Structures are given as structure tokens and as C-alpha cells.
Amino acid sequence: MWLLGLFCFIIGLIIGFQVPILLPAVYVKYTAIGVLAALDSVFGGIRAYMEDAFDNVIFISGFITNTLLAAGLAYLGDRLGLELYLAAVVVFGARLFQNLGIIRRYLLKKY
């Protein structure tokens, strides 16, 4: 399962490097937070899949709302003059490590 995900991820990277789209420099920070949230959702989904608790609707909706919410939070923080994106970085970073740890344990158990 996770091999398939990795494969798709690499294909996505290749497509992304070929596509001639560049983000405006102003939004780079917000999209970076969005990418972090998306990564978190993906690892969360893989973890849930391994725990047999995977729900397609929750996964897709979580992916979209987490990404948009994180980018929006960063944007709001900038408008307020508050480094609110740090909250997103800390939360998603911590969850990312947690999910990775659980996935690692499952893989170790499996093989």
C-alpha cells in the first residue's frame, strides 16, 4: 500500500517539476503551510489504512479542509500581525512525526 503511495508521490513530483506554473512570491508562505497540512493528511490516511480504520470521506474532506485551513490561518496571522502560521507548523509537524512513528511500527511488525 505505502509503496503505491510513494510511487504516485514520485509521479506527482515529476509532473510538478515539468508543469510551467509558478506561484506568486507573496503566497509562497501560505502554500508552504498548505503543503505541510496536506502531507500530514496523507500520512494520517496511510496510518488509518494500516489500522483498518480508513474512511474515504473523512480522508478526502480532511485533506482539503486541513490544507485550506492551514493556508487561511497563516494568511489571517499575517493580516493580524501575529505569527499564527507557527501554530500550524508546530501542530502539523508534531502530528507528522506521530503518524510516521506509528506507520514505522506497523511496518516493523509486518516484516
Partner 1 sequence: MRSKTGQVSIMIVCLIVGIMIAVQFRTTETYYNELTRESRLEDLTLKLNSITEERDSLAREVVALREKISSMENSGQSKELQEELRKTNMAAGLLPVQGPGIIVTLDDSTRNLQPGENPNHLLVHDLDILTIVNEMRSSGAEAISVNGERLTATSEIRCAGTTILVNYNKVAPPFVIKAIGDPEMLESGLSIKGGYIESLKLIYGMEVQMQKSDRIEIPAYKGSLRTKHLSPVEAKNNKKKVE
What residue ranges bind partner 1 (CB under 8 A)?
Answer: 1, 4-6, 8-17, 19, 21-23, 25, 28, 31-32, 34-35, 38-39, 41-42, 45-46, 49, 52-56, 59-60, 63
Kindly state the smallest distance separating residue 96's Cβ from partner 1, in Å.
12
Q: Toward partner 1, which CB reaches closer, 16 or 80? A: 16
Amino acid type, 108: L
**Cβ 47 vs Cβ 96: under 8 Å:** no
Decide: 37 and 70 in contact? Cβ < 8 Å: yes
Q: Cβ closer to partner 1: 9 or 97?
A: 9
List of E strands, the chain: none
Please, which residue, 53 or 80, has the CB nearer to partner 1? 53
Residue 8 CB neighbour total at 10 angstroms? 11
Minimum separation from the CB atom of position 52 to partner 1 (A): 7
Shortest CB 90 distance to partner 1, Å = 19
E strand or H helix that includes residue 24: none
CB of 1: closest distance to partner 1 in angstroms?
A: 7
Residue 91 neighbours by CB distance under 10 Å:
15
